[in-house]
Copies of this chain bind each other. A is one copy, B any other.
Amino acid sequence: MNTFGNIYRLTSFGESHGGAIGGVIDGMPAGLTVDFEAIDRDLKRRRPGQSELVTARNESDAVTFLSGIYEGKTLGTPIGFTIANSDMHSNDYENLRHVYRPSHADFTYTAKYGLRDHRGGGRASARETAARIVAGSLAAQALATEGITIRAYTSAVGDIRLDADPSKLDLGKVYDNAVRCPDAKTAAEMERLIREVRSEGDSIGGIITGVISGAPAGLGEPVFGKLQAMLASAMMSINAAHGFEYGMGFDGACRRGSEMLDRFVTDADGSIKTATNHSGGIQGGISNGSDIVFRVAFKPVATLLQDVLTVNDKGEECTLRARGRHDPCVLPRAVPIVEAMASMVMFDALLANRSSRL
CA of A15 to CA of B244 in the docked complex: distance in angstroms? Answer: 29
Chain A 196-235 interface 0/1 with B at a Cβ cutoff of 8 Å (1 = within): 0100001111110000000011111111111011111111
In the complex, A12 Cα to B284 Cα: how many Å?
16
Q: Is the CB of A123 within 8 A of B355?
A: no
B14 pairs with A222, CB closer than 8 A? no
Q: Which residues of B lie under 8 Å from residue A254 when comparing CB positions?
A: 156-159, 204-207, 297
Check A256–B202 contact: CB distance below 8 A.
Answer: yes
Ranked 10 nearest A-B pairs via Cβ = A105-B284, A1-B225, A243-B245, A13-B80, A203-B257, A257-B300, A108-B286, A111-B217, A30-B113, A233-B233
Whether A11 pairs with B78 at a CB distance below 8 angstroms is yes
Residues B13 and A79 in contact, CB atoms below 8 Å apart: yes
**Known pairs A243-B244, A247-B242; A278 contacts B12 (CB<8 A):** no
> Which listed residue, B100, B233, B257, touches A202 by the CB 8 Å rule?
B257
Q: Which of chain B's residues have a CB closer than 8 A to the CB of A197?
A: 256
Closest to A159 in B: B254
Residues of B within 8 A of A3 (CB): 3, 9, 11, 26, 224
How does the 8 Å CB contact mask read for A59-98 relative to B, with 1 for contact and 0 for none?
A: 0000011111010011111111010000000000000000
